[in-house]
C-alpha cells in the first residue's frame, strides 16, 4: 500500500498566513494518492493588552478618551471593552481599557454617539449621547456596576433541547454570555497588536492513535500576536462548508475564529446545550454547539469549556462533520487554550489542529482488485505562546 505522508508548509510573514498540507508519495509507493491539501485557517484567541492613547493631529481624526471605573469602589477597571455606537446603535469603533482604566478610540466621522462598556463580572453600561465634531477630543467616564456571576449553581439536565439563541436566564444563555464577552475581548486585543510574543510552532506526524510522535519540526519566532491566522467569512463557511473542495482535488479546512462564533450566520445555524465536564474537564461546564441541520456540506461542532468558579473561558474543542474521508478516529479536530493577563486581556497560550493522513490500500480478491482508504496517521500543527520576557513584568504591573 502507499506510504503517503502529509507535508506541512507555513509562511508566517503573509498577511493571511496559512498552513498547507499536501499528501505526497515516498519512494517505493505503488502510486501516488491524489494530493490532499489542507490550509488551516484557525483563528485563536490572540492577546494584546492596552490601548494606545494618542492625541489626534489638529484638524484631523476625532477621538473619545476617558476611563472606566468600578461603580461601587471607584477603582479603575482593566480589560473592559468599550464600543462607540452611532445613533442607529451600530458599532463604529471599539477599544479596551488599560491597566489604569483609561482608553482611547477614534471616531470614524462627525456625528452623535454613545459609549457602551462591558466586562466579565460587571453589568454593561450605556453612556449618555454626545456630539463628536471633526478634530474633537471628547472625554467620557463609564461606571460599571459589579455583577458577580454564579455559574457554579447551574444544574445540567439530562434531557435538553438543543436551542438556537437560547433565551435569557437559561443555563445555555448564561454560559454563552460569559463566552461571548471573552471572545469579544479576544477580538479587540487581537486588533490592537500591542504585545510581543515568543511563539514556538510545531509540525508533527503522529500515529493513528495520536499517542506516538513519528516526526517533528519546530520553529521559534517573535510576533506581535500569538497567532496571526484568520478564518473565512462566516457567511461563506455556512454556505460552502468548513471543508471546501478545490479544483485540483484538494480540500481546504477552516475552523471558526472568534468573529465567526460571534456572527449571526453562525448563531442562526447552530444550537447550544450545556454539559458537565468529566475526565480532563472535571469541574468545568461546557457549552456545546452543533449544526442545526445537515445541509450537505461539512460543518463544525465543538465545546466551549468554562470555569464556573471564575466564569472564565478555558479552552475550546472543535471537530468537523461530514469529513471528505470516512476515517474512524476520535483524535481529529482542534484544541485552543486561553489565558488571561492581569490587564483583563486574553491570548491563546497553546493550540493544535489534527487532520487525517490517509493512504490507499489495495488487495486482490478472486482476481478483482479492491481499493480502500485507510488512516495511516494524523498530521498535527500547533504552537505555544508566551509574552516576551521583557514584557512579562510590565503586563503584570499594569
- Cβ neighbours of 123 (radius 10 Å): 13
- % the chain with pLDDT above 70: 79
Sequence-distant contacts of 392-398: CB under 8 A, at least 24 apart: 395/49, 395/195, 395/341, 395/342, 395/343, 396/341, 396/342, 397/99, 398/49, 398/50, 398/78, 398/98, 398/99, 398/100, 398/342, 398/343
Distances (CA, A) of 184 to 49, 77, 160, 196, 317: 14, 17, 27, 20, 18
d(CA 105, CA 96): 9
Q: What is the predicted pLDDT for the residue at 20?
A: 33
d(CA 36, CA 377): 14
- Cβ neighbours of 158 (radius 10 Å): 4
Tens digit of pLDDT at every position of the chain (398 positions): 333 333 322 233 322 223 333 333 333 333 333 333 333 333 333 223 333 333 444 446 799 999 999 999 999 999 999 999 999 999 999 999 988 999 999 989 999 999 999 998 899 999 999 999 999 999 999 999 998 777 877 777 766 778 888 776 688 888 999 999 988 888 888 787 666 788 899 999 999 999 999 999 999 987 766 555 568 899 999 999 988 888 887 777 787 888 899 999 999 999 999 999 999 999 999 999 999 988 889 999 999 999 998 889 999 999 999 888 877 678 888 888 888 887 777 887 888 888 888 888 887 877 788 888 888 899 898 888 888 776 665 554 44
In degrees and rounded to multiples of 5, residue 304 shows phi and psi of -100, 115
**Would you say 10 and 227 are in contact if contact means Cβ atoms under 8 Å apart?**
no
Grid cell listed for 128:
449618555
pTM surpassing 0.75? yes
CATH superfamily of this structure's domain 52-148: Immunoglobulins (2.60.40.10)
Domain locations along the chain: 4-47+193-396, 52-148
d(CA 190, CA 199): 15
Grid cell listed for 245:
473542495
Amino acid at each position: 500500500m502507499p506510504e503517503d505522508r502529509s507535508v506541512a508548509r507555513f509562511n508566517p510573514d503573509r498577511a493571511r498566513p496559512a498552513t498547507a498540507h499536501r499528501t505526497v508519495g515516498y519512494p517505493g509507493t505503488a502510486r501516488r494518492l491524489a494530493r490532499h491539501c489542507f490550509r488551516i485557517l484557525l483563528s485563536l484567541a490572540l492577546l494584546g493588552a492596552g490601548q494606545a492613547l494618542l492625541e489626534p493631529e489638529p484638524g484631523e481624526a476625532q477621538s473619545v478618551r476617558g476611563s472606566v471605573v468600578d461603580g461601587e469602589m471607584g477603582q479603575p477597571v482593566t480589560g473592559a471593552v468599550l464600543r462607540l455606537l452611532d445613533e442607529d446603535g451600530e458599532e463604529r469603533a471599539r477599544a479596551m481599557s488599560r491597566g489604569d482604566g483609561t482608553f482611547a478610540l477614534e471616531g470614524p466621522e462627525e456625528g452623535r454617539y454613545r459609549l457602551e462598556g462591558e466586562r466579565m463580572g460587571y453589568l454593561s453600561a450605556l453612556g449618555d449621547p454626545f456630539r463628536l465634531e471633526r478634530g474633537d477630543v471628547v472625554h467620557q467616564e463609564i461606571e460599571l456596576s459589579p455583577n458577580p456571576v454564579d455559574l457554579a449553581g447551574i444544574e445540567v439536565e439530562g434531557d435538553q433541547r438543543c436551542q438556537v439563541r437560547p433565551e435569557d436566564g437559561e443555563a445555555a444563555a448564561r454560559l454563552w454570555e460569559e463566552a461571548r464577552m471573552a471572545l469579544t475581548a479576544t477580538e479587540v486585543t487581537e486588533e490592537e497588536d500591542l504585545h510581543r510574543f515568543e511563539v514556538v510552532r510545531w509540525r508533527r506526524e503522529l500515529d493513528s492513535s495520536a499517542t506516538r510522535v513519528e516526526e517533528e519540526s519546530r520553529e521559534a519566532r517573535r510576533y506581535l500576536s500569538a497567532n496571526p491566522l484568520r478564518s473565512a467569512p462566516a457567511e461563506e463557511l455556512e454556505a460552502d462548508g468548513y471543508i471546501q473542495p478545490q479544483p485540483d482535488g484538494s480540500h481546504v479546512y477552516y475552523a471558526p475564529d472568534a468573529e465567526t462564533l460571534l456572527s449571526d450566520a453562525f448563531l442562526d445555524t447552530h444550537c447550544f446545550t450545556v454539559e458537565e465536564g468529566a475526565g480532563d474537564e472535571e469541574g468545568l461546564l461546557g457549552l456545546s454547539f452543533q449544526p442545526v441541520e445537515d445541509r450537505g456540506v461539512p460543518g463544525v461542532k465543538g465545546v466551549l469549556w468554562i470555569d464556573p468558579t471564575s466564569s472564565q473561558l478555558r479552552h475550546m474543542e472543535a471537530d468537523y462533520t461530514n469529513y471528505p474521508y470516512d476515517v474512524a478516529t476520535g483524535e481529529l479536530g482542534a484544541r485552543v487554550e486561553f489565558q488571561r493577563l492581569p490587564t483583563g486581556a486574553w491570548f491563546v497560550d497553546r493550540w493544535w489542529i489534527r487532520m487525517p493522513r490517509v493512504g490507499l490500500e489495495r488487495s486482490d480478491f478472486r482476481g478483482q482488485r479492491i481499493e480502500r482508504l485507510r488512516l495511516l496517521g494524523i498530521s498535527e500543527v500547533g504552537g505555544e505562546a508566551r509574552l516576551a520576557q521583557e514584557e512579562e513584568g510590565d503586563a503584570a504591573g499594569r
